[in-house]
């Protein structure tokens, strides 16, 4: 039986545009999480984990309230992080972003994501449906890892708030990207977290 991994970015954060490192969901973020819960209602989940940060924990709580069989657990492996640094082939357009992070940030993020992919991408025999509620960069790293793309390419992969990405692994086969950043459960006015031109 296949192993499915459902990756979800948290709902929109209140006042996120003002640079808050963490905080509660906005009213729009709460609605995003509620609609995502409806979308996931028919999935026979076998496990669920979330980042300990408030915006992800609140998203997990809202989903769990509507899916009584789900009991999300906090995991430090799903914290927001910088998964890797600038590579020689990274386009110079990303210099300002990488210039704003420290080597310590990068080292910590790289170690965290090595542990996260080892933990959550290990094959589990039987029918497994696991939900991870986390952050943009973490999901980008998982997608990059599954596709075997160069390390720096995570910075080019973006997820909207409460967008749904699904990975699948069948016995004897590599992980497959089934869907990326699916927003079918969200009306246009609730699609946030991406550049405007990508939200239509």
Chain segment 129-138, per-residue pLDDT in tens: 999 999 999 9
Helix (H) or strand (E) holding 179: strand 176-182
pTM score > 0.85 for this model? yes
Check if the beta carbon of residue 105 is closer than 8 Å to that of residue 160: no
Check if the beta carbon of residue 31 is closer than 8 Å to that of residue 59: no
Chain segment 93-147, per-residue pLDDT in tens: 999 999 999 999 999 999 999 999 999 999 888 889 999 999 999 999 999 999 9
The CATH number that domain 3-129+138-176 falls under is: 3.40.50.1240
Pairing mode, strands 73-74 and 47-50: parallel
Report the pLDDT value the prediction gives residue 195, as an integer from 0 to 100: 72
- In this prediction, residues 177-192 reach a mean pLDDT of 96
Report the pLDDT value the prediction gives residue 43, as an integer from 0 to 100: 95
Q: List the structure tokens of 22.
A: 């963490």
């Amino acid at each position: 039986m296949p192993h499915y991994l459902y990756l979800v970015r948290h709902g929109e954060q209140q006042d996120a545009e003002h640079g808050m490192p963490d905080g509660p969901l906005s009213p729009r973020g709460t609605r995003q999480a509620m609609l995502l819960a409806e979308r996931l209602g028919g999935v026979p989940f076998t496990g669920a984990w979330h980042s300990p940060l408030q915006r992800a924990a609140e998203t997990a709580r809202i989903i769990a309230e509507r899916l009584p069989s789900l009991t999300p657990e906090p995991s430090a492996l799903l914290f927001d992080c910088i998964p890797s640094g600038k590579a020689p082939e990274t386009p110079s357009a990303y210099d300002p972003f990488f210039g704003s992070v420290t080597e310590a940030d990068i080292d910590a993020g790289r170690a965290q994501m090595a542990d996260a992919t080892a933990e959550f991408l290990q094959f589990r025999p039987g029918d497994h449906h696991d939900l991870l509620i986390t952050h943009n960069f973490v999901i980008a790293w998982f997608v990059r890892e599954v596709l075997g793309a160069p390390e720096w390419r995570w910075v080019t992969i973006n997820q909207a708030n409460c967008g749904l990405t699904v990975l699948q692994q069948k016995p004897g086969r590599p992980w497959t990207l089934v869907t990326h950043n699916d927003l079918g459960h969200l009306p246009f006015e609730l699609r946030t977290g991406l550049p405007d031109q990508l939200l239509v």
